[in-house]
Structure 1
Amino acid sequence: MGSAKIDQKILDQLKSCSKDEASLSKLEELVGEIVERYETTKDQLNLLEHAIKHDYDSILITELDLEKPGPRIVYVNSGFTKMTGYSKEEAIGNTPRMLQGEKTDPHVLERLKTRLIEGQAFFGHTVNYRKDGTEFINQWDIHPLTNDQGEITHWVSYQRDISDRSETSKVVFDANLDFDNLDEESKKTYIDLDIQGNIISSNKSFRELLGYDGDELKQIKMWDLVSDDDKGEAEYLFGDFDADSIEDRPYKWTFIKKNGDEVILEANIRNFVKEDSRIVRIHFDNISMRNRILKALEDKKKKISDIIGKKDEFTVRFARNGDGDVYCKFISDSFTTITGIDVSEVLEGGIDDVLEEKCKEEAMECVEKAFNGEGCSAKCQYKTSDGDYISVIQSFSPVFGADSDEVESVKSVAMIELEVEK
């Protein structure tokens, strides 16, 4: 049996499902291994989040689709809930538009959309709104997440509340630089070079990332920090700096930490004038960390999906009959795969028959909101064929008629709840 401790409630259920001691022992061993893998993955995610929590208040991951109603949120960390006041249940399945309001700058949103359509990262800020309606200035650092084939699959948004920031920029940028592409002073991992490639300053994030202190870095040329494969390009760019040789794109280099480990960083290069000297600033994005976050999330989802038959969500469609009563018009076959209950039972008996009693009212309130044109989400529990319950995050969205503003039905997507934090 795996070393992870199995909850007593689960053990009792295993006993009730076992025909003898031998089968019970086998079930305990299997569930123990599953719990152990789950705990390991959860610990890895917690470590990843702790590693970057000092740089960003919030992490949000969305699906790829940018068309209205917008990319659906698939993950938020606890920093997001603390910063916005929205719970994970309220955020997952919704879109980042939930944070927008009257003062949100539409021009910033348009630039954001354009950059993402082009597959580019975006850095900017505008006014957003917390759940209680209060305003805050949200700074985004948004990047594409790719699969092994290099295809963009998700967007990850690192966010900070900069409402209380009082400091002003201490640098004067060249007037001919595109304002949209300026690297803000607040971006967290960067170094400053002179035009011969000497490191004249570095921030705490960069020093801790590579394991050097500030004095050590001042004795090192920038290209001496990268791998042999990248050394030639770095020395060409910074050995005798010429702004015209810098392409308007991220450069990806492998850095060697002081302890010998490697880390892949994506570099964005800008130059500015400070006290009559030209300074080269390189802002770095930790590609290795970004990829590990995505891989950990995908591995966790895959492991739990394997347990429930390769399915992790199901779809429900609600409609109104001639009397105006709401009924379940459609439910996807994956519902049966996940719960073991035949779809026909739900269509005949209604969704109430398979919802846990405490969440029925909230679910029906969300259905009514969606029929009134307002998206909604709720945490629900559904019965399974073995008498247990499975938790889902369920979104409810209005579906409008083709030629009218009238809501003709409600589409609901229920996703298996994947907790990644205590």
Structure 2
Amino acid sequence: MYTATPDQLLQPLLATLAEVSEPVCLLSTRGELQFINSAFQRISGYQQLEDVQKAGGLSSLLVDEEQKRPLPSAPPGSTATAADLLPKRVYLQTSSGKRIPLYLKQKVLPGGESGSVGTLYLFEQHPRAKTTTDYHRLLASFVEHANDAIMITEAEPLEEPGPRIVLVNQAFMRMTGYTRKESLGRSPRFLQGPNTQRQELDRIKAALQAQRATTAEIINYRKDGSEFWVELTVVPIRLYGTELTHFVSIQRETTHKKELEKALQDSRRQLEEALYENKQILNRSLDMICSLHPDGRFKQMNKACQRMLGYTPQEMIGRHFIDFVHPADKLKTLEVAAEIIAGNVQQNFENRLLHKGGRVVTVLWNACLSEDNQLMYSTARDISALKDAQEQLQGYTAQLEKINSELDQFVYKTSHDLRAPLVSVLGLINLTQQEPDEQQRSEYLSLMVRSIKKLDSFIQDIIRFSKNARTEVSPEPINFQLLIQEILQELMYMEEAKTIAVQLSVDPIAPFYSDKRRIEVIFHNIISNAIRYRNPAAEAPYIHIQVRESGQQQVRIDISDNGLGIAPEHQEKIFEMFYRATENSTGSGLGLYIVKESLAKLNGEISVASEPGAGTRFSIYLPNLQQPQGVEAHV
């Protein structure tokens, strides 16, 4: 937890004491002189603290009139109040040796971990405060007319509704807009609002509960509702010995300081544009700023060169700039340098530099020649990330154009392929209604069922396409043997599958992780195509499926058949959306497109080798995706 130091507690008071017309000194808890105001300097002739120390310290300069000996200071850690130390007559020995009669009042300032933060020495040339009552009046006048806002509250309660205010001065009323009558009796919390920092309030509360002095800077609210920043110091007061009775808060508005801080931040950018070479380059700039000799050697530069290129300024100063340019950009860079030497300002010149670590850094330059000293001044900004973003944006644009093209094609084809079976069914229904022959009606119904199944298959392909596009990859353990057997069992109900012999071979592989749903779609679409496009003329139609490891963290899957095969001119297009290699195709034209898009999601690859009349082989390569901890994979 943050605890204010004695110096932090005294700062607001010292600022006020500096303006006091009477001589004032401040001693630390160890008896060391910490502060003298201008009035003391004027009356004593000592202008600096060091001058007083050389003269033997403050105590050696003060002589008690009654005891005729140096005056002792208040004991360290004392908690004496104003009533305990009344004014006494002393003599102050000036720097010229003259003794001046004065009236001295010692005041121990409470606060800090040791109970006090120092002793205040107040001098008067006339005995205006000989009694405790007069002294209290003096202090009251001091508080009332202080430049800093001062507020005194009761010590309890710290919980709701909070301690009551018992005193505010004129500076407080000017700062907040509230009159004394409007403030007294209320909790200081009436100055807080929605933007008052709760964390700071909690810290202040914790310090007050521990009866410690603290300093904070928070947002308060004036009577007119406007916000203002205030730096405050809160000190516990014990009027009756050790019992805590009050808290004193000395406050100074810092709104103007905050506004200046913001203005300084806003002007930083403008200052960076107004740099002038003077052997001290601004090292806080994110851009590399440098000066070069007419022969191209670096003269000065800031530390941004190390962030940008990995070289320290010492490693680059004295070397020719061309030493750091990418070989492919050296010629055009030298041509631009010649233009600068000729007096032409170069703006937004782009080239590539070589980082100390070997990577390429793309840089945007602005450079000019100074006529005063014939030096070249240049700023360079690393735009590598911007170039990468531009390339990525170009990739996104190309991908978007591809998606738009596919979407146009998708809308056209789906509207046609969805409508065709429906039109067929409607026509068959019309024929069925008019056909009296029962056998013919049965054939019409079979044709309706076939059209509906075709429509359902097309809709299923659309659903798979949509799921692949929208669903994130979800790796899980893959049991290829079980997964393929389940798909084969499902597809064996196809009419064309009854005469096909299926051979499945899964080699032992290391635990393998991938997206099970997408792999199911891949196998389903390829195997169903092999069944659908079998060769009726083949004596022994077959489908062979083999799964084996291929290199580190990768499997290879081969699905081959002796079906109709694919003509060479179609093989590069079969993975396109809605592409059909033959007009006799009964599929949607989405199956292999979905296979390719699903593999793209899994970072996989697919190739095809086919010969018309001999058969087709699809080869798939799947990487082993990162496996979750604590999960065992199936072999």
Give the TM-score of the pair, scaled to structure 1: 0.34
| Higher Rg | 2
More strand by share: 1
Structure with larger RCO (C-alpha < 8 A, sep 6+): 1
